[in-house]
Amino acid sequence: MANFYRDNDDIQFLFRHLNLGCVARIMEEGFKFAEEFDYAPADADEAIANYDLVLDSLGQLSGDFIAPRSEDIDRQGSTLNEDGTVSYADGIRESLEMLAKADVMGFTMPHRFNGLNFPNVIYSIAIEIVSRADASLMNLFGLQGIAETINFFASEEIRQKYLSRFSAGEVTGAMVLTEPDAGSDLQSCKLKAFADDAGNWYLHGVKRFITNGCGDVLLVLSRSEPDRSGGLGLSLFVCDRGPTVHVRRIEDKLGIHGSPTCELFFDNTPCELIGERKRGLAPYVMSLMNGARLGISGQSLGIAEAAYRIARDYAASRKQFGGPIEKIPAVRDMVINMKMDIEAARALLYETSRVVDHDNGYAKRLELDPPKDKEALKQIKDASRYYKRCAGMLTPMTKYFSSEMSNRVTYDSIQVLGGSGFMRDYPCEKFARDARITTIYEGTSQLQIVAAVRGVCSGTAEKYLHNLESEDYVKEVNDLLKILKKGTENLFKAVAFVKEKGVDYMDLYGRDLVDMAICLICGYLFCGQASSKADYEIAVADKRGNGQKETIDMKKRKEMIARRYITKNAALIKALSEKVLSGERSTFEQYQTLAGPVPEEK
């Protein structure tokens, strides 16, 4: 019996370490829903117990049912039928049925739509667990943000029409955004939305690279204002998959074969407007994509965790040169770095999810129940602005960091296994293929950096890091806090220099600035974990090598992780700062010479 929740000591520790009572109070709005819904929690302890129970059930389902089907799903893929319908791989269809029976397809939906009303931080844990079992299934399970967007922005009539069906697992959805000539640049969207004399809306045109484009409910970004170019001419619509929505092809992809990626043609398809006209891109699609970026971060983590476990087991069991290959320093170092990078990405994702929960909670409070007292109202507005800015910085940051980490870890997993890793005898090659898309869809790593570096350079990172620095830490990490403080000084020295050089220079060195900020943030998060009030012990191998197990307090282990992570990255932060301060601009000034001419056939 495998349980992908219970067998992960880091998730178990973080579940105890995170202040889940606070986010539960936000989601349950002071636990007022218990008066109306029998299954709504009456207090924080009951909410946390519910989170644990659902994650335990999902972990069991992922380990025992979903994961064993993953290999066949990868080989079978999806099928475009002659009648234009799409058939999922058998394992995807079966797993979706089981997820619906487990009542987890409305993870973040309100109670009134039969949802679980769970916070984003718990949803991120769930996405990681499912992704570890099968990354392609996550692309359907993780599209619950479509229902969230309908809940946040659509009319009550549209909510009533769709949301309970999402929660019951009766329908799946798709984010229908990109086009042949409008990939990352969504402002160039051309798909036409028009209204007849009676005010009924219709869609006409082509969309491409649509994850689960065969879904039942489609959120479609379209140009509703033909006389306006750019984002202000776009609106968001919802439609059902019907006879006027044609799947023209399924893409033949490198990985995530169980998730169909479709090209769609809308032939005057009836649809309904979400919210207001001309707000399709901002804020509606931006909100939708930010939720999806957290989902991809969780997917990246799940893939990396699965790949790491294969490598860790192989390094301990594969005998070469008279002993297991983990005795070789280079292999040992690689395995440790894989584990440390996964835990850093997990810490950043869960922290980002917590911040997003606070952002949503304060925004909802201001909209639905603002305090009448002026001072109290000012405090909530200030907190809302702070969390919104932090969420805007951390969301692209965690998507960038987690997806790049996943690609490194899956690559190194193959390397640990050597020739065996290159073969299909082990799933490492599948994990590497699945991981590759994570740095591309929902915005490439380069675009995440462009978004994140604005927060790093605008003062948001400075305030956020100051708040992390002000937390209570155990004395054992005091020397590490001094290193982080010095690193923070180096970061903002580089930021000040960049501001003098202009926006193009900031974008040129954006990755360096974001990498520095991530190293500092994760360093503080590790110190916080080492200072946790949570008690959790893990089993480790006996140092005497006699096969027995000893236990170690997780906080002590986190102190070790923090020490290796922070000292290792101190030199990197200094080097990156010096690189930014160099003023080197050959990318701008010598591009044609350094890149060489565009290749031509002769």
Q: What is the predicted pLDDT for the residue at 545?
A: 55
DSSP 429: H
The neighbouring-strand residues paired with 193 are: 203
| pLDDT at residue 549 greater than cutoff 90 | no
Give the separation between CA 512 and CA 196, rounded to whole angstroms: 51
* Domain coverage including residue 575: 459-593
In a domain, 28, yes or no: yes
Do residues 115 and 36 both lie within one domain?
yes
CA distance linking residue 186 with residue 285, whole number of Å: 10
Paired tokens of 402: 């987690």
* Domain identity same for 157 and 191: no
Q: Are residues 291 and 309 in the same domain?
A: yes
Give the pLDDT confidence score for residue 542 in this predicted structure.
56
Are 161 and 199 part of one and the same domain? no
Over the chain, what is the mean pLDDT?
A: 96
Asked if residue 68 is part of any domain, the answer here is yes
How far is residue 524's CA from residue 530's CA, in Å, rounded to a whole number? 10
Q: What are the structure tokens assigned to 327, written together?
A: 């005795």
CATH number of the domain at 255, please: 2.40.110.10
Same domain, 269 and 203: yes
Q: At what angle do helices 329-368 and 286-317 cross, to 10 degrees?
A: 160
Q: Which residues contact 324 (CB under 8 A, 6 or more apart)?
A: 315, 316, 317, 318
Whether residue 601 lies inside any domain: the answer is: no
Helix axis angle for 120-133 and 9-17, nearest 10°, is 180
Same domain for 421 and 384? yes
Mean pLDDT of 70-74: 98
User: pLDDT, tens digit, for every residue of 217-250?
Assistant: 999 999 999 999 899 999 999 999 999 999 999 9
Given a cut of 90, whether residue 398 has pLDDT beyond it is yes
| Residue 449 within a domain | no
Q: Residue 17's domain is classified under what CATH number? A: 1.20.140.10
- The counts of H helices and E strands in the chain are 22, 13
Q: Whole-angstrom Cα distance, residue 476 to residue 478?
A: 6
Q: Which two tokens stand for residue 361?
A: 């909670």
Asked whether residue 433 falls in the same domain as residue 532, the answer is no
Greater confidence (122 vs 183) lies with 122
Domain-ending residue, one of 249, 281, 313: 281
Pair 418, 302 in one domain = yes
In a domain, 448, yes or no: no
Q: Mean of the pLDDT values across residues 570-574?
A: 98
Write down which residue in 228, 248, 281 finishes a domain.
Answer: 281
Shared-domain flag, residues 22 and 164: yes
Please say if the pLDDT value at position 404 is more than 80.
yes
pLDDT per residue over 136-193, tens digit each? 999 999 989 999 999 999 999 999 999 999 999 999 999 999 998 887 889 999 999 9
Task: Let me know whether 13 and 52 are in one domain.
Answer: yes
Q: Is residue 80 part of a domain?
A: yes
Structural domains counted in the chain:
3
Same-domain status, 288 and 423 = yes
- Alpha carbon separation from 503 to 151, 289, 457, 515 (Å, rounded): 37, 24, 10, 18
In CATH, what number is assigned to the domain containing residue 488? 1.20.140
Q: Tokens 């033949």 belong to which residue? A: 252
- Residue 331 inside a domain? The answer is yes
Domain assignment present for residue 160? The answer is yes
What's the pLDDT score for residue 108? 95
pLDDT above 70: residue 547? no
Asked if residue 307 and residue 245 are part of one domain, the reply reads no
Q: What integer pLDDT is reported at residue 244 of this predicted model?
A: 97
Q: What is the pLDDT of residue 539?
A: 87
